[in-house]
Amino acid sequence: MLTARDSVEARLYVSEEEVIQDALRHLLRSRPELRIQLAVHRYRTEESSLAKAASLAGVSWAQMKDFLLERAIQPRLGPETLEEAEREIQTMREHFQNQP
């Protein structure tokens, strides 16, 4: 069995953390349902915004809202503070800048 350490020792990566991050990135690209489950989990446990959860899941905010409702999670709609609104705007800008 290969380990993260093997990749570092072979000088393919600088650190084990970098190996793990790259492996997770590839896993989530190849299994979009895991991205959605992770986004739902973070939305539920970390009080992140709908826009941030949608960005993590790689879907639109409307699709993310539907995924939450399917799991009996009531979406928190609309920011409660100016800071929250500004963070949501920044998250959406970043999401759309990363679109092809």
* Predicted confidence (pLDDT) per residue in 86-100, tens digit: 888 888 888 888 766
pLDDT one-digit tens code per residue, 47-66: 788 889 999 999 998 999 99
Determine, yes or no, domain membership for 2: no
> How far is residue 95's CA from residue 100's CA, in Å, rounded to a whole number?
11
- Total structural domains within the chain: 1
C-alpha–C-alpha distance, residues 92 and 81, integer Å: 17
Tokens of 66: 């539907």
State the burial class of residue 34 (Cβ atoms within 10 Å of its Cβ: 0-12, 13-18, 19+): middle
Residue 3 within any structural domain of the chain: no
pLDDT interval class at 82 (50, 70, 90):
confident
Residue 19 within any structural domain of the chain: no
C-alpha–C-alpha distance, residues 37 and 67, integer Å: 9
**Separation of alpha carbons 55 and 52, rounded Å:** 5
Residue 70 has pLDDT above 90, yes or no: yes
